[in-house]
């Protein structure tokens, strides 16, 4: 699993980080991002839906927000 740190960045920067990382990896790769902006809980799943990637998990731990996406075939 690839871990991305997007703490202290505000949306859409965490989305851009996820988008750019996904572009580098083959289908099946799991990418987990940690953000301090709660907007990431909406924006990253929305971005994944649009591009046909799979949302595996999203969770809140205190003031940090984690979203895991599986890279799928780009539609």
Name the site residues for another protein (rule: CB under 8 A).
8, 10-13, 15-16, 19, 37-39, 42-43, 46-47, 49-51, 63, 75
Omega of the bond leading into 30 within 30 degrees of 0 (cis): no
Active site residue 34: no
Catalytic residue among 11, 13, 34, 56: 11
- CA distance linking residue 5 with residue 35, whole number of Å: 7
Cα 60–Cα 22–Cα 53 angle in degrees, nearest 5: 70
Instruction: For the CB of residue 74, give the shortest distance to another protein in the complex, in Å.
Output: 8
Instruction: For the CB of residue 53, give the shortest distance to another protein in the complex, in Å.
Output: 11
């Amino acid at each position: 699993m690839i871990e991305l740190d997007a703490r202290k960045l505000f949306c859409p920067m965490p989305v851009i980080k996820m988008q750019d990382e996904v572009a580098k990896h083959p289908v099946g790769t799991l990418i987990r991002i940690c953000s301090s902006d709660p907007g990431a809980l909406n924006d990253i799943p929305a971005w994944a839906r649009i591009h046909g990637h799979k949302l595996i998990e999203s969770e809140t731990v205190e003031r940090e927000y984690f979203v895991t996406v599986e890279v799928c075939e780009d539609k």
